[in-house]
Structure 1
Amino acid sequence: MSEAIHILAIATISENKADQLEKVVQVCAGHSLKEKACKRYEISRDAEKKGRFTVSEIWASQAGFEEHLASEHFGELASFAREHGAVLEVIRQQPLQPTS
């Protein structure tokens, strides 16, 4: 069995583009949650800094995560982020406790 892939993505965009990015991320999340390998795809908005979002993801396998990265909906999110100057940090995490 493959080891799950845990991702924390932090996206930061100018405040005047934050509402647009939020919509694009929500569309991507809706599609991502339907992917077979997706175990978690939770988006949050920073409560103190408008324009900063986090996405907590768990993928069943590396192959499943790579399929997600190649998907049309992720491509649309990535294109929007690039075109509007968003800064994206992707952190691949190793849980220290077992996940349920």
Structure 2
Amino acid sequence: MSEAVHILALATIDKGKAADLEKVVQECAKHSLQEKACKRYEIARDAENEGRFTVSEIWASQEGFEAHLATEHFGVLAAFAKEHGAELEVIRQVPLHPAA
């Protein structure tokens, strides 16, 4: 069995588009949480920067994460981000505590 994949994604967009991005991210989260390989998919809005969001994800395997990237709901999010000039950073993390 593959090792779990831990992701932290940061998305920053113009404040005028923040509410729209929030809706798209929430819709993606709703569907992502239904994916078999999804162990966690939490979104948050930055309390001090209206246009910045974080997504903390855990996927059961690399294969599960790659399958997520090929889904329609992720494609909608990626297309919205690209169309509206959102800056995206995806960080693959290695947990340093035993509870991970």
Q: Name the TM-score, length of structure 1 as normaliser.
A: 0.98
Where do 5+ consecutive residues of structure 1 fail to align? none
1:52-67 aligned at under 5 Å gives the runs: 52-67=52-67
Q: Which residue of 1 aligns with 2:3?
A: 3
Q: What is the distance in 1 between the residues matched to 2:85 and 2:99? A: 34
Q: Secondary structure at the match of 2:44?
A: strand
Q: What is the distance in 1 between the residues matched to 2:98 and 2:50? A: 33
4+ runs deviating over 6 angstroms? none
Q: What is the distance in 1 between the residues matched to 2:44 and 2:34? A: 19
Quote how far apart the aligned CAs of 1:96 are.
Answer: 0.5
Letter in 2 for 1:76: V
Letter in 2 for 1:17: K
Q: Deviations over 1:61-96 (max 9, x none)?
A: 000000000000000000000000000000000000
Quote how far apart the aligned CAs of 1:98 are.
Answer: 1.9
Q: What is the distance in 1 between the residues matched to 2:42 and 2:31? A: 12
Query: What RMSD in Å do the two structures reach over aligned CA positions?
Result: 0.7
Q: Deviations over 1:34-54 (max 9, x none)?
A: 000000000000000010000
Q: What is the distance in 2 between the residues matched to 1:14 and 1:75? A: 20
Q: Which residue of 2 aligns with 1:82?
A: 82
How many equivalent residue pairs?
100
Asked whether 1:15 is paired with 2:18, we answer no
- The percent identity for this pair of structures is 76
Q: Secondary structure at the match of 1:66?
A: helix
Where do 5+ consecutive residues of structure 2 fail to align? none
Quote how far apart the aligned CAs of 1:99 are.
Answer: 2.6
